Structure 1
Amino acid sequence: MIKLKYIVSLLVVATFFTNCAKRGTITGGPKDTIAPKIIGSLPANFSTQFKGNEIKITFDELIKVKDVTKQLIISPPLKKQPIIVPQSSASKFISIKLLDTLQENTTYSFNFGQSITDNNENNPYSQFKYVFSTGNYIDSLSVVGKIKDAYKQKPDNFVSILLYDAKTFTDSTVYKETPLYVTNTLDSLQLFSLENLKEGSYQIIALKDKSGNNKFDPKSDKIGFLNEPITLPTSTAYELELFAEKPQFKAFKPTQESNNKLYLGYEGKSKNLKVTAKKRGESIPLRMTKYPQKEKDTVQLFFPKMELDSLEITVEDGSYTKSFTSKLKNLKSSDSLKIIAKTQGVLSFRDQLTLTTNTPIDKIDVSKMVLRNKDSVAVNFTAKYDEYHQEIRFDFKKEEEEKYTLELLPEAITDFYESKNDSLQFEVNTKLLADYGNLKVTLSGVKRFPIILEVLDENGEVLYSKASQKETAMLFETIEPKLYTLRVIYDDNGNGIWDTGDYLAKRQAEEIVYYAKLLDVRANWDVEQDFNLD
């Protein structure tokens, strides 16, 4: 009887668990969202009279250290990077072996950023900082501030803030020496805080340091600086504006791209670029145009069809002069006249019907060109050639909901090589004026003139702009319906463009002020926007 009851009980329990198994599954409990905790360190954090060469930090669970070479900020910087373990495996401790000789009476800080996470869920121990002093006390002064970009609306992330001893600082220091103290801004944040500093006078520098060596490389890094040293202690919050320098103009040896064209690359800001060519001492006519991709500093050099030989190319720009010898080869390709429409489909009321050419143009015969509307009525126009961009622009009065056909009769266009076009035809359409919006911007708080008001799309591309010597109200008519950003450039040198800064010349970049919000310009809307520059 007892055995039967026992067997029945087992069957009941088994049936119960079987039914439970059918109803659901084990979830493993709630997800771990708690960061690891430090349960001890040797020596203790914020120790003084540090004499050792190893630090050990112990955690309450298994942790991983990732991207430590990018995340870890050591201040003052060490010449030899310490050995940190583990980096590829899980452990309950971090070991830091110092390979450098530490300075006397100096406070050191090791900020691990986001590099420490737990092993299972990657919960970060955010911005953990280990601090010690080789002297009798921990330095406790600090300096805070923010960084901004001189040109872009949002600054780069992970910008380095460097402090140098003002007594020994010279203009060349940022190129050659590491700083006394360093920290980084965080991802997407503009603020910085340098802590555990000594009393004294410092030169403060901001760097978008691509190589991570705490030295300024003008070819790759952005820099921001103050013209005067700062003195600690201080309650001032400082602002540093970063800019990328334009190097001095320098031309590179031309490369042959076809049987009648060279590419000439250069770096730096061109003031008045002039290129000439000679063959065996005799001058050869050249036509210089812009390389089609606007982001490249390159020009195209078209030379006459001739017996291929060496060309001596001389490049001049301001005080810069350099000559190159280009040995020409017989290549498979030669540039020939091709004409295509840059403007296709819808032609906005603000734009001009534009054609682009493969080769430079020598002659435009407008008597062999006809522009007609959809009723085949001839429309008056003017044509203007921009050789640098290899564009022919047609200007005429546009009507709403109209279709225009541009006909080029044979030999309307003659290029540099005496080639002429065959019959060509191009078509564009216009929309209703009500399909566009109008934007009127009224500026206040303008500190000085001249200024440039620019209207940008969401990607930062300048779509419309106007310069002003005194006007504070500017109208942009028939613009595309979309979201826009506004910015004002203080064009201090009056050259019509934004100019970057120069560290050695102690010249900051020209000031830019952005409107804080996006503007929604809709079809058939008149938008009036006040923009206070204060």
Structure 2
Amino acid sequence: MKKIFFLFLISLLMLSCARVGSPNGGAKDTIPPKMLFSNIDTTRVNVPVTTKELRIEFDEYIKLKDINKNLIISPPIKNIKKILPANLGTKFLMIQWSDTLKENTTYNFNFGNAINDLNEANVLPYFNYAFSTGPEIEDNYLSGTLVDALGEKKSEGKDVNYVVGLYQVKDSMDYRQKPYYITNVDPDGYFELNYLSPGKYKILAFEDQNGNSIFDNGKEKFAFSKDDVVIEDKKNISGTKLKLYPSVPPIKYKEYKQTNGGIMLLYEGKPENVEVTSASANLKDYKVTHRPKSDSVFVWFDAIAQNIGIDKSDNIKLASKTVVKTDSVSVYYKNDPRAEMTLASGSDKVLAPNTLFKIKANFPVSEIQSDKWRLTSDSISQNFTANIS
């Protein structure tokens, strides 16, 4: 009996102890990760061009957030093989590549806001790491602001990334490649390009919607300066102002559609002028109509008179020439015997004095035989003239 009472007393004491508060974990960690050292020498100069890895150690476990969007390497290293950590947290960051580095070049790794500590997600903001394959690190920089020329603001909930890039001035400029130097624009529109080598550059800012660091003309807003940016040694540039404008889609042939009396060619970019010629022996008599800045070009022809697409679909080859290029267009046409020409009023039911009465047709009209038309008012024939517009 005493033994049972003694066990009961111990149980009560244990329950009583278990109810006394909860352990205090201390203040919440708000300190971002801190870099300790790197595999590259601390002087970061005269780094061998055969180096294939950058490894940075931190004082705590880290994770990488949207690394493919945040990480910008200037000048670009194309063949990146591996970036760690991938999913699990580690106390180091590692980037491996297969490219041979350029001689006497300063490389800058801008991690944006990608580096976070594992537990509290504290961000190490705009972390940069630079090293040089030459005897010194180039420390020239260019800074400025980017604004929308139309005064538009970012849509709420829409994550839009703006970048500013520098392209080396060469005989042939290709803006479809990644810039030689590139940086992100912060939410206030401020940007800064660091560790720049002396030389002449073209500057281009754009809305990097898909995060590929390449300007997609016709889809992304852009800002551009016609003047070269000249970077001189030990001379920094600040106060650069850039304005974003919508980009115009490139002019190019898209597709075709069969329509009453011919074929309609559709284009991207709304061309000012399009010349279409037949490259087929079966299409000799035709008419091309196109209104400037329209994305549609019509090729009209009499399929029955030229025996095109009567029993089966016939292939018609066309040459389409715009200011940009000439496209070879291959279309298949099958005449629709049910299609008939119809006329309809193109004017209001009530016409004001001295206004034209318009008639619309679903087929092209090449000639009007007005002597076979009759216009009457109260059974009295009226004189009139008619023309094709």
Place the TM-score, normalised by the shorter chain, in its bin: 0.5 to 0.7
Aligned-residue offset at 1:207: 4.2
Pairwise CA distance, 1:255: 2.6
- The separation in 2 between residues aligned to 1:329 and 1:335, in whole angstroms, is 15
Describe the superposition over 1:320-379 as per-residue Cα deviations: whole angstroms up to 9, x where unpaired: 887856432256996998xxxxxxxxxxxxxxxxxxxxxx85643635x9xxxxxxxxxx
Q: Which amino acid aligns with 1:228?
A: D
Task: Name which of 145, 161, 179 aligns with 1:157.
Answer: 161
CA distance in 2, matches of 1:5, 1:382: 117
Which residue in the other structure is 1:109 paired with? 108
* Change in 2 beyond 3 A, CA 1:212/1:382: farther
Once residues 288 and 280 of structure 1 are traced to their aligned partners in structure 2, the CA distance between those partners, rounded to angstroms, is: 19
Alignment size in residue pairs: 343
CA distance in 2, matches of 1:289, 1:225: 33
| Residue of structure 1 in register with 2:227 after alignment | 227
Per the alignment, residue 144 of structure 2 pairs with 145
Task: Report deviation, 1:86.
Answer: 2.5
Q: Which gives a bigger RCO, structure 1 or 2 (Cα 8 Å, sep 6+)? A: 2
**Contact 1:263-1:298 within 8 A present in 2 as well:** no
What is aligned with 1:206?
Answer: 204
The separation in 1 between residues aligned to 2:340 and 2:189, in whole angstroms, is 50
| Aligned residue type for 2:362 | F
Deviations 1:403-431 (CA, angstroms, capped at 9, x unpaired): xxxxxxxxxx764369xxxxxxxxxxxxx
- CA positional deviation for 1:312: 7.5
Paired position in structure 2 for 1:264:
265
Aligned-partner Cα distance in 1 for 2:189–2:267: 34
- Per-residue CA deviation, residues 98-125 of structure 1 (Å, 9 max, x unaligned), is 4333334433221111222223343332
The whole-number CA distance in structure 1 between the counterparts of 2:237 and 2:330 is 60
Does residue 132 of structure 2 align to residue 133 of structure 1?
yes
Residue number in structure 2 paired with 1:366: 349
Structure 1 residues 313 and 152, CA, compared in 2 at 3 Å: closer, same or farther?
A: farther
Q: Deviations over 1:174-210 (max 9, x none)?
A: 4487655332324x44221112234x34324124366
Conserved? CA contact 1:64–1:89, under 8 Å: yes
TM (norm. structure 1) is 0.50
What is the alpha-carbon distance in structure 1 between the residues aligned to residue 283 and residue 97 of structure 2? 65
Q: Which moved more, 1:234-243 or 1:148-157?
A: 148-157
Letter in 2 for 1:224: F
**In percent, how many aligned pairs have the same letter?**
30
Whether the 8 Å contact between 1:225 and 1:241 is mirrored in structure 2 is no
Query: TM-score normalised to the size of structure 2?
Result: 0.65
Question: Could you tell me which residue of structure 2 aligns to residue 37 of structure 1?
Answer: 34
* Secondary structure at 2:12 match in 1: helix
| Preserved contact between residue 218 and residue 250 of structure 2 (Cα < 8 Å) | no
Bigger Cα displacement from structure 2, 235-244 vs 327-336: 327-336
Question: Structure 1: 5+ residue runs without aligned partners?
Answer: 291-295, 338-359, 370-379, 388-412, 419-534
**Which residue of the partner structure matches residue 385 of structure 2?**
none
2:332 to 327, 334, 351: 327
Q: What secondary structure sits across from 1:35 in the alignment?
A: coil
RMSD, aligned α-carbons: 4.9
Q: Is the 8 A contact 1:163 1:182 kept in 2?
A: no
Q: Does the 8 A contact of 2:286 with 2:299 survive in 1?
A: no
1:144 and 1:231 mapped to 2: Cα distance? 12
Letter in 2 for 1:39: L
Distance 2:26 2:333 in 1: 74
Within a 5 Å distance, the mapping from 1:76-475 to structure 2 comes to 76-81=75-80, 83-150=82-149, 153-154=152-153, 157-164=161-168, 169-170=169-170, 172-175=172-175, 180-186=180-186, 188-198=187-197, 200-208=198-206, 218=217, 222=222, 224-232=224-232, 233-243=235-245, 246=248, 249-252=251-254, 254-256=256-258, 262-272=263-273, 280-283=283-286, 298-299=295-296, 301=298, 307=304, 309=309, 326-329=331-334, 361=344, 363-364=346-347, 366-367=349-350, 415-416=361-362
CA distance in 2, matches of 1:319, 1:71: 35
Which piece of structure 1 moves more, 69-78 or 51-60?
51-60
> Aligned-pair distance for 1:88?
2.8
Q: Could you tell me whether the CA contact under 8 Å between 1:364 and 1:414 is conserved in 2?
A: no
Return closer, same or farther for 1:299/1:333 CA change in 2, 3 Å cut-off. farther
- Aligned residues of 2:273 and 2:290 also touching (Cα < 8 A): no
**8 Å contact kept, 1:59–1:93:** yes
Maintained 8 Å contact 1:111/1:128: yes
Per-residue displacement from partner, 1:293-322 (whole Å, max 9, x unpaired)? xxx963274968964636776767689887
Indicate the SS of the match to 2:69: helix
SS at match of 1:10: helix
- Sort the Cα spacing of 1:270 and 1:300 in 2 relative to 1 into closer, same or farther, 3 A: closer
Which amino acid is the alignment partner of residue 240 of structure 2?
Y
Question: 1:469 maps to which residue?
Answer: none
Describe how 1:49-88 pairs up with structure 2 within 5 A. 49-51=46-48, 52-81=51-80, 83-88=82-87
What's the CA shift for 1:211? 7.5
Change (3 A) 1:328 1:12: same
Distance, in Å, in 2 between the alignment partners of 1:300 and 1:151 is: 32
Distance in 2 separating the partners of 1:322 and 1:44: 55
